[in-house]
Amino acid sequence: MHSLPTVKIMISRILFVFLSFTLLLPVSTLHAQSVTIDNSEYRKKIMQYLASDYFISEGVGLKKVYIGQSVEQLVRQLGKPANKKKQGMFTGTVVYSYTLDNETAIQVGIKKGKVQAIALAGSMSSQYTTIKGARFEMPAYEIINYYGGGTLKNNRLLYQNQGVRFDFSNGKLREIRIFPRQ
């Protein structure tokens, strides 16, 4: 059994802790409210970014350019290509080249009037990123962290079941290739 002074000390400590929380709670709530920004302009910019076409979906492509899209739809979205060339004598593939912005270029492989493959090349300043977070100039080990096990072979990481391949130069991601999942 505890002596009376010990019980008083325990009760005073419990009371102190209780009062500390009840007195600090309104202050911390007030602080949290002051940190929360309800700036409609800021919110608008965030929503525009999230709705933008900067996210590359593995096995699919972008909102404006995607696997299975017709040539007509592609040209409607991106305009006339800067360059158009046949690839391989027997494949029947035509490659359309575009510049998306100052930091990113795209090549679209078309066969039988449909988009079959997409390749994006960019620099560290490119806004384009995969849904899982891969960005240009990332090292291979970071891509493996996002996508799971993989082996870097001939400066490439291939994820056939996800419909994406990453090409590296000097140890940094330089190109992202999208194709149908297999």
CATH code of the domain covering residue 68: 3.40.33.10
CB-count burial class (<10 Å; 0-12, 13-18, 19+) for 106: buried
Q: What does the pLDDT read at residue 36? A: 52
- The model carries a pTM of 0.72
Domain-embedded: residue 14: no
Per-residue model confidence as pLDDT tens digits over 118-133? 999 999 999 999 999 9
Per-residue model confidence as pLDDT tens digits over 68-106? 999 999 999 999 999 999 987 778 899 999 999 999 999
Give me the domain span that covers residue 83. Answer: 56-178
Domain-embedded: residue 20: no
Domain-embedded: residue 159: yes
Please give the tally of structural domains in the chain: 1
pLDDT range class, residue 44, cuts 50, 70, 90:
confident
